[in-house]
Amino acid sequence: MTKTRRFNLTESQMPRQWYNIMADMPNKPLPPLHPGTKQPIGPEDLAAIFPMELIKQEVATDRYIDIPEEVLEIYKIWRPTPLVRAYNLEKYLDTPAKIYYKNESVSPAGSHKPNTAVPQAYYNYKAGVKKMTTETGAGQWGSALAFATQHFNIDLKVFMVKISYNQKPYRKSMMNLWGAEVVPSPSNLTDSGRAILAKSPDSPGSLGIAISEAVEMAAKDPGTNYSLGSVLNHVLLHQTIIGLEALKQMEMADAYPDVVFGCFGGGSNFGGISFPFLGENFRNGNKTRVVAVEPASCPKLTRGQFHYDFGDTVGLTPLLPMYTLGHNFVPASIHAGGLRYHGAGAIVSQLLKDNLIEAMSVKQNETFKAGMIFAKTEGIIPAPETSHAIAAVIREAEQAKKEGKAKTILFNFSGHGIIDLAAYDKYFEGKLEDHEVTDAEIAESVKELQQLV
């Protein structure tokens, strides 16, 4: 009982402001462009689908932004979340490294996603919005937003990638339980969906298509707004409560990270854990390394191009400056559905371009092995997405052992894998593939970018 394992903040110690890295990053991200005019978009271009408060946050440069009282009250359902010292994992790896993780799996939806779902629902509610749309892949984001919207009596329609809709019924049940309507995408409800179905009636769907459907429906109905679970600046802003809490908790633990890891899909859990530590780097000259971990099968950060691209497949969003594999890139069907996205958020992309963060990729079987080790040692079963970060942490801890260095590692435990157990079965049966993209595939997929801007 001498060693403290979990560092808990009291509710009154919970941060009351989000951290906006735009205030401190050396080069600001390039502006989003209107795909027709190729000119920077203004607030009015987004007003059809987002409430003004979120549009303001998208371009805000204040260092701190107040978290509304009503949002804090709902955060208290699961926040502050624990920071945990992974003694058992350290022992198993026989490493001199000190490993800490921020456990975001304790939220109602089982991941970090409600951190932004709640404020997004709140700002829409304050703007009088009664109906919202969104997309979801495996269901993590859709269930988080369903949890959030029902608190504010907003009707939610979720376009769920069809293959997941059929294969992962539990997330659909969760969304239904929280009052959302779930539609398999591509659907007949939108022009985008109908166009895809006309070409390929058996399309399994993709995140990019589902985004197109959700955006289209919101854009066409003045009473309906849209919500995105990653990529955008305001989404990452809301997620910084993870890192802000972790900063306080590392202090409680009398430690400070030499390196911070987060898995990477669009950037929301990664930005959430790392931006506050990057802020310390920028303002105070700290030298914490920050590493984004992506799947080898969807390597936009490590092998993509820095270019303007659409956020969706059909091309309904503004053009965003990002590391991308091209908006028509179809990632292999790995189990980490939340990481199967062609692009990266504008802030993260700029930071990577400026060499202020690092990126690496790992293959699927290595991530499941890491997840299994974590479940056996630390007790919690990680989501396949989260296991990407864990795989990187294990590599780092093994390196620390080789070097005999007692470095301090922090990572974000972004979600649990209790609804992903079938994927673990496949791992144990040796049936998981290690997809890797060829150079030719990437070259083909990024060709379209040259025509955009």
In the structure encoding, which two tokens stand for residue 304, read together? 């993509």
Smallest distance, a copy of itself to C-beta of residue 144, A? 11
Q: Does 425 bind a copy of itself (CB under 8 A)?
A: yes
Using CB atoms within 10 Å of the CB of residue 10, give its burial: 0 to 12 exposed, 13 to 18 middle, 19+ buried: exposed
Contact mark string toward a copy of itself, 94..123, x via CB under 8 A: ------------xxx-x-------------
CB nearer to a copy of itself: pick between 173 and 203: 173
CB nearer to a copy of itself: pick between 360 and 432: 432
Q: Which residue from 280, 366, 378, 396 is in contact with a copy of itself, where contact means CB under 8 A?
A: 378
CB nearer to a copy of itself: pick between 88 and 302: 88
CB nearer to a copy of itself: pick between 77 and 443: 77
Can you spell out the DSSP letters for 198-257?
HH-TT----HHHHHHHHHHHHHH-TTEEE--SSSSHHHHHHHTHHHHHHHHHHHHTT---
Q: Which residue from 219, 332, 375, 452 is in contact with a copy of itself, where contact means CB under 8 A?
A: 375
Smallest distance, a copy of itself to C-beta of residue 393, A? 18
Can you spell out the DSSP letters for 343-412?
---HHHHHHHHTTSSEEEEE-HHHHHHHHHHHHHHHSPPBPHHHHHHHHHHHHHHHHHHHHT---EEEEE
- Determine contact, residues 203/196, Cβ cutoff 8 Å: yes
In three-state secondary structure terms, 27 is coil
CB nearer to a copy of itself: pick between 110 and 311: 110
Segment 311-350, which members bind a copy of itself (CB under 8 A)? none
CB nearer to a copy of itself: pick between 76 and 405: 76
Q: Distance (Å, rounded) from C-alpha 149 to C-alpha 153?
A: 6
Residue 80: asked if its preceding bond is cis (omega within 30°), the reply is yes
CB nearer to a copy of itself: pick between 171 and 342: 171
Amino acid type, 389? A
Pairing state between β 305-310 and 64-66: unpaired
Pairing state between β 305-310 and 319-324: antiparallel
Contact mark string toward a copy of itself, 3..42, x via CB under 8 A: -xxx-x-xxx-x-x--------------------------
Q: Which residue from 285, 379, 404, 430 is in contact with a copy of itself, where contact means CB under 8 A?
A: 379
Segment 209-268, which members bind a copy of itself (CB under 8 A)? none
Q: Does 422 bind a copy of itself (CB under 8 A)?
A: yes
- Determine contact, residues 435/334, Cβ cutoff 8 Å: yes
CB nearer to a copy of itself: pick between 245 and 294: 245
Q: What is the strand order of the sheet 6-7 is part of? A: 6-7, 83-85, 98-103, 408-413, 259-263, 289-295, 358-362
Q: Is the dihedral of CA 324, 354, 246, 233 positive or negative?
A: negative
Q: Does 68 bind a copy of itself (CB under 8 A)?
A: no
Kindly determine how many residues on this chain lie close enough to bind a copy of itself according to the rule CB under 8 A.
45
Q: What are phi and psi of 158, to 5 degrees?
A: -110, 120
Other C-beta atoms lying within 10 Å of the C-beta of residue 155: 16
Segment 145-184, which members bind a copy of itself (CB under 8 A)? 147, 150, 169-170, 173-174, 176-179
CB nearer to a copy of itself: pick between 73 and 403: 73
Other C-beta atoms lying within 10 Å of the C-beta of residue 184: 18
CB nearer to a copy of itself: pick between 11 and 441: 11
Segment interacting with a copy of itself, rule: CB under 8 A, options 17-25, 224-232, 296-304, 421-429:
421-429
CB nearer to a copy of itself: pick between 139 and 208: 139
Smallest distance, a copy of itself to C-beta of residue 76, A? 5
Residue 77 DSSP symbol? T
CB nearer to a copy of itself: pick between 62 and 73: 73
Smallest distance, a copy of itself to C-beta of residue 421, A? 4
Enumerate the β-bridge partners of residue 413: 103
Segment interacting with a copy of itself, rule: CB under 8 A, options 285-293, 404-412, 415-423, 442-450:
415-423
Segment 69-98, which members bind a copy of itself (CB under 8 A)? 69, 72-73, 76-78, 88
- Range list of H helices, 37-93: 43-46, 52-59, 69-75, 87-93
CA 48 to chain centre: 24
Smallest distance, a copy of itself to C-beta of residue 168, A? 11
Determine the Cα angle at 443 with ends 439 and 445, to 5°.
115
Smallest distance, a copy of itself to C-beta of residue 173, A? 4
Interface residues toward a copy of itself, by CB under 8 A: 1, 4-6, 8, 10-12, 14, 16, 69, 72-73, 76-78, 88, 106-108, 110, 147, 150, 169-170, 173-174, 176-179, 372, 375-376, 378-381, 418-419, 421-422, 424-425, 428
